Structure 1
Amino acid sequence: MIERHDFETTAPIQKFGNGSSPIGGHRSFEKHRFLISRISMRTLVNVLTVAEFLNFRHAASYLGVSQSSVSTRIKALEDHLGTILFERRHRGVHLTEAGRGFVNQIAMGIEHLDHAITTAGAVSTGTIGQLRIGLDSSIASGFLADLRHRFLEKYTEIQIIITEGRATDTIRQVRDRFLDVAFTMRAIDLPDCHSRSLWSEPFVVAMPIHHPMATAVAFGWEDLASEKLLVRRGGAGPQFLNHITRRLAERNRTPNIQRFDVGRDTLMHMVADGEGIKLTTEAVASVPFPGIAFRRIADETEEAKFSAVWSPHNRSPALKNFLDLATEMSRSA
């Protein structure tokens, strides 16, 4: 059933900065300007309603207007189009072949317009659209994995697009509005960005299952000083590098660090093959990896702290909903 609308005049055609029109190029717009300016949305709704009732009087009654008003609008439209849309009969009307084609096209156009209006409303409330997230750590488990799952369960029409990289890279993309939010393994205090500390995880060491420390009662940073420590150049690698260097410097020890430009899984395979050990966090440890044992460091007093970073100029409703949920989860953790 066609819904009644109060469309008094034709909606203006929006023009962009380059003088073009959203409905096509400049020539297309100029070609149809004359016709478009004389066909109102009210007239098109009248046509669809008459096509549904096949009776001017019934259509007018439904629309809450006079029969003569409906008849006059449609007659004027037919004159503009240069064709007859309705064949008038004593007990009603019938669509001509041209009328059927016109009504079908207009009905599709109205559906598209209705969808555009509904979609715009949904985007404005953050229930549909995209959310672009930057990461320097894993989403296999832990707080971030739970946040993502809960958000997608609540907002089923939001598509989350994930980019992984170093914190410096993802924060730059937040500034450039290529990302909505970045999650980083460090406390952030930037003058041009907003940030919020959300969760923390204990540090753990990934090592081959046959490594002596894998079965030791306990071990500390002094024990790690003589080990070969594998660190990624990307992701959260720079943060792990800084933490290792600081902890061993506190003990007047020089770390044996080897850095690799590889992904997280590749580095874990290297650990499993006995090429070294790797500092990581508890969320990674909760996902079993063949040939690897995860152990905590006995004298480690800090946890890895994770923060969200976003631009104060980003007004995305989806981002607001995402951050609200993250804050709620953080407070209840």
Structure 2
Amino acid sequence: MPTALGSRIPLASLIQTLTVAEYLNFRHAANALGVAQSSVSARVKALEEDLGILLFERHARGVRLTEAGRHFIERIAAGVDQLDHAVKTASMAAVGECGRLRIGIHALIPHSFLAKLIGQYREDRPGVEVEITEGTAREAVMQLRADRLDVVFVAGTPELPDCHSRRIWTEPLLAVLPEQHLLAGRPAVTWADLAGETFLVRHGGTGPQVHSHIVLRHAGRWPSPSIQRFDVGRGTLLSMVGQGFGITIVGAATALLPTTGIVFLPFADEPKPITFSAIWSPSNRSAALRNLLTLASDMDRPSRAY
């Protein structure tokens, strides 16, 4: 099968021809390119011979485009512009300055660490399109494994053999009680104080982890807690606490939300704050992802824990 002529034309010949068309003078074009005038003349002549058409009419003071040359230059200029754009875009993608980053989250609370992280990232990398998906940790990891997400942020420090993970930030654990609750005036509560309470948890978000944590902390205690699960959003669950449906536990970032009728109390006997981790696929070589993880590490300071 014969090779197309276009695939045999050196890019340098096209660039030099475009420069001659810009200056309409071989000497000026050669000076602009930093090459010998004889080299430019030879390349343009060779290109005209390959094409079988005259691109330029030569005269004593320079050259001018033929009609065929004008059509050729218009199309070549567009093609070179596209090539230049492709090279620049590829270079930007290679360093994470453009492209797409798909993030799975449990919630995005204004002024929380995660909100600040994503906000700072978008400010630093305006060329990267950030897509956010909210759901449970289980759903997020499934989407990660299906290559529908690049990174997910979850509560805890999960150990997944087929994924990388890194601790990103921590938040103190808080109990959420109705403001009329008998314990509401205390500076802190213990898990023993909450024995026998009705706990409310969500099906979505961090609900499954909250459920497991309540069960763990009340193991062996009596009376055992009642745990009710609801398919509601975070705001609705907090409103239900305020209306006396029960109590719940949250990370400290939730206390940043505007609320009424409830109080947030720290635990006196919770051994350590909640850890939130990033999870991603080992096969994901995205520079955009790498830049996000680097930024998260830089922002992880005690003064900015949540």
Structure 2 length-normalised TM: 0.85
After superposing the two structures, state which structure 1 stretch, 59-68 or 227-236, moved more.
59-68
Within the candidate set 175, 183, 188, 2:145 is matched to 175
SS at match of 1:144: helix
Residue 90 to residue 319, structure 1, CA distance change in 2 (3 Å): same
Residue aligning to 2:89: 119
Query: Which residue identity lines up with residue 74 of structure 1 in the other structure?
Result: V
2:304 is aligned with 1:301: no
2:100 is aligned with 1:130: yes
Residue aligning to 1:258: 228
Residue aligning to 2:299: 329
CA–CA separation in structure 1 for the residues paired with 2:54 and 2:184: 86
Within the candidate set 168, 180, 201, 1:231 is matched to 201
CA–CA separation in structure 2 for the residues paired with 1:218 and 1:211: 13
SS at match of 1:314: coil
Within the candidate set 110, 119, 122, 1:149 is matched to 119
Within the candidate set 211, 216, 230, 1:241 is matched to 211
After superposing the two structures, state which structure 1 stretch, 185-194 or 291-300, moved more.
291-300
Question: Which structure has more RCO (C-alpha within 8 Å, separation ≥ 6)?
Answer: 2
Residue aligning to 1:199: 169
Structure 1 length-normalised TM: 0.79
Give unmatched runs, 5+ long, in structure 2: none
Q: Describe the superposition over 1:135-165 as per-residue Cα deviations: whole angstroms up to 9, x where unpaired.
A: 2244433332232233333333233222222
Query: Which residue identity lines up with residue 277 of structure 2 in the other structure?
Result: S
CA–CA separation in structure 1 for the residues paired with 2:70 and 2:89: 28
Correspondence 1:4-153 to 2 at 5 A: 34-67=4-37, 69-78=39-48, 81=51, 83-153=53-123
- The structure 1 segments of at least 4 consecutive aligned residues displaced by more than 4 Å after TM superposition are 64-69, 78-84
RMSD after superposition: 2.8
Query: Which residue identity lines up with residue 84 of structure 2 in the other structure?
Result: D
Check the 8 A contact 1:137/1:184 in 2, yes or no.
no
Residue 272 to residue 101, structure 1, CA distance change in 2 (3 Å): farther
Q: Identity over aligned residues, as a percent?
A: 50
Q: Describe the superposition over 1:8-27 as per-residue Cα deviations: whole angstroms up to 9, x where unpaired.
A: xxxxxxxxxxxxxxxxxxxx
SS at match of 1:37: helix
Q: Describe the superposition over 1:19-51 as per-residue Cα deviations: whole angstroms up to 9, x where unpaired.
A: xxxxxxxxxxx99x5231343212211221111
CA–CA separation in structure 2 for the residues paired with 1:38 and 1:249: 76
SS at match of 2:172: strand
Residue aligning to 2:130: 160
Residue aligning to 2:290: 320
CA–CA separation in structure 2 for the residues paired with 1:255 and 1:327: 38
Give unmatched runs, 5+ long, in structure 1: 1-29
